[in-house]
Amino acid sequence: MKVVKRNGDLEDYNPEKVVKSLKNSGVSESTINKILQTIKDKRFDSISTDKLYKIVYQLVKKLENKYNASIYSLKQAIMRLGPDGYTFEDYIAKIFAGEGFKVKTRQVYESNCITHELDVVGDDF
């Protein structure tokens, strides 16, 4: 099976990538095995990463608890905030500001060799 990545490139389906993301979400070994078997049984010639994600997410929601499903979907939720990431940076900045930090976003700092852009900078003084 081939997987069509978001940039259009094709790569061989690697079940270990699915296993890793599911383990990182706290999904049980038995559920992981059921999900891998379901994907194998579908016998896709090719599938987009988005469609593969949706299939896996639906199975996690069905077979596991809501907490693990929400952890598994976190990366997708962040990606839906937009490609430039500014919305997420502003969101994080508001969380820190709510905790009493003085916060600045998108700050540029010069070092000896290169320029660094820091998305969120906080100070608690």
Q: What is the model's pLDDT at position 7?
A: 87
Residue 50 CB neighbours (<10 A) = 12
Burial class (CB in 10 A: 0-12, 13-18, 19+), 72: buried
Whether residue 11 is predicted with pLDDT greater than 90 in this model: the reply is yes
Q: Please indicate, yes or no, whether residues 74 and 95 belong to a single structural domain of this protein.
A: no
- Mean pLDDT, rounded, of the chain: 90
Q: Please indicate, yes or no, whether residues 54 and 93 belong to a single structural domain of this protein.
A: no
Binned at pLDDT 50, 70 and 90, residue 124 comes out as: low
Q: Are 71 and 25 in contact (CB under 8 A)?
A: yes
Q: Please indicate, yes or no, whether residues 66 and 99 belong to a single structural domain of this protein.
A: no
**Choice among 43-47, 54-58, 73-77 with the minimum mean pLDDT:** 73-77
Burial class (CB in 10 A: 0-12, 13-18, 19+), 81: middle
Mean pLDDT, residues 86-106 taken together: 89
Which residue range is the domain that position 117 belongs to? 86-123
Q: What is the model's pLDDT at position 83?
A: 65
Q: What is the model's pLDDT at position 122?
A: 87
Whether residue 85 is predicted with pLDDT greater than 70 in this model: the reply is no
Q: Please indicate, yes or no, whether residues 63 and 112 belong to a single structural domain of this protein.
A: no
Q: Give this prediction's pTM.
A: 0.65
The packing angle between helices 29-42 and 15-24, to 10°, is 150
Q: What is the model's pLDDT at position 75?
A: 76
